[in-house]
Structure 1
Amino acid sequence: MSSTWLPPEEYAATLPKATVFGSVFFTDEDDRPVHLHAVYSPEHPWQWPGGTAEPGERPWDTAVRETAEETGLMVPGPPRLLAAVFGLPGAAWPFATSGLVFDGGRLSDRQLADITLAPDEHDEVRVLPLEDWRGLMPERDFARLAAVVEARRTGVAAYFDTWDWDV
């Protein structure tokens, strides 16, 4: 660490860079997790509605916007945080990833049936008991899902910091 102060723009250039995301976790009325099948990500095929923040956008606003775009669902507020997720950069992506997972609540059968997917992003909605997701996704995706389910159950937000790009 240097004892010399740098101008803000020079100091900022030395700091780690990160993308920010917001997503929404839903279950059905029996507390079975809801996921969307991504057409663009064979590495992470099952996802929650959400995405990367646009410039000037906060994670909650991102989660609400992306959920509406991807499913047609309007997420009621106020936001209820379930998890903070962090991953280090890697060879495939040069930025860290930092995001928040919000609780979208329980969806009725009618709400699930009314989901309208954005076909350029997702091609299926699936609702399964927690354990049934294990074989459908990478282990770290399942570990993140289990942490979010536990956060919802206990009311204590999860901190999931192993979402690194290089595993």
Structure 2
Amino acid sequence: MSGTWLPPVQYVAQLPKATVYGCFLITDQEDRPVQLRSVRNPANWQWPGGNMDPGETPWECAVREGLEETGLEIARTPRLLGVRYLMPRPDWPAHKIGLIFDGGRLTPEQIAAIVLDPAEHDEVRVRSLEEWRDELTDAAFQHLAAAVQARRDGIPCYLEQTETS
């Protein structure tokens, strides 16, 4: 501790910057994860969600983004499955903190009714956890598996991605 007190505005200006996002883990009724393929990076499969807007909470963000990205009101009650932390990288020069909420189990009719935002996603895929292993990077698969386990156990997970490349 330096012993030098700074006014809050000056102190906060020195702190690392971070963005916050909210997202949903959703599955079908057989607990197979549902993910959306990114148009910006087709190798990247994502959960419905995105970055918070000013004045928004992580839950409000997840609900808004879920509706924008799927056309569905995914959940009505917040149930936290986990928190994900990512270090700054060259393509995203700020810390990133995500709150993963339980989006529940969708019926076949709900999955068929998903309407993607073509500027963000071009495909919806439902696969077993083991089938996702072949589609995802090791880190992305570990995060998916941890969120699925958190839902099963009722114990939120904490996930880190500390590599910066």
TM-score of the aligned structures, taking structure 1 as reference length: 0.94
Measure the CA separation in 1 of the matches of 2:158 and 2:105.
22
Q: Which amino acid in structure 1 is aligned with residue 164 of structure 2?
A: D
Q: Does 1:127 align with 2:126?
A: yes
Measure the CA separation in 2 of the matches of 1:70 and 1:77.
16
90-99 vs 136-145, which deviates more? 90-99
Structure 2 contact 75–104 (Cα < 8 Å) conserved: no
Q: Does 1:41 align with 2:47?
A: no
- Where structure 1 has 5 or more consecutive residues not aligned to the other structure, the ranges are none
Aligned residues: 165
Measure the CA separation in 2 of the matches of 1:128 and 1:75.
19
Provide the secondary structure at the position in 2 that maps to 1:136.
coil
Q: CA deviation at 1:90?
A: 2.3
Measure the CA separation in 2 of the matches of 1:132 and 1:76.
25
Runs of 4+ in 1 over 4 A off after TM superposition: none
CA offsets 1:64-120 (integer angstroms, 9 cap, x no match): 000100100102321000111111112322210001010011000000000001011
Identity of aligned residues (%): 52
Provide the secondary structure at the position in 1 that maps to 2:74.
coil
Q: CA deviation at 1:5?
A: 0.5
Match of residue 50 from structure 1: 49
Relative to structure 1, is the Cα distance of residues 17 and 165 closer, same or farther in structure 2, using a 3 angstrom cutoff? Answer: farther
Measure the CA separation in 2 of the matches of 1:120 and 1:93.
19
Match of residue 143 from structure 1: 142
- Where structure 2 has 5 or more consecutive residues not aligned to the other structure, the ranges are none
Measure the CA separation in 2 of the matches of 1:74 and 1:132.
27
TM-score of the aligned structures, taking structure 2 as reference length: 0.95
Measure the CA separation in 1 of the matches of 2:16 and 2:35.
31
Provide the secondary structure at the position in 1 that maps to 2:125.
strand
Q: Which amino acid in structure 2 is aligned with residue 14 of structure 1?
A: Q
Q: CA deviation at 1:138?
A: 1.1
Measure the CA separation in 2 of the matches of 1:35 and 1:92.
22
Measure the CA separation in 1 of the matches of 2:95 and 2:118.
28
Match of residue 8 from structure 1: 8
Q: CA deviation at 1:165?
A: 5.7
Q: Which amino acid in structure 2 is aligned with residue 18 of structure 1?
A: A
Match of residue 166 from structure 1: 164
Provide the secondary structure at the position in 2 that maps to 1:83.
strand
Q: CA deviation at 1:11?
A: 0.6
Match of residue 18 from structure 1: 18
Q: Does 1:30 align with 2:30?
A: yes
RMSD: 1.2
Q: CA deviation at 1:137?
A: 1.4
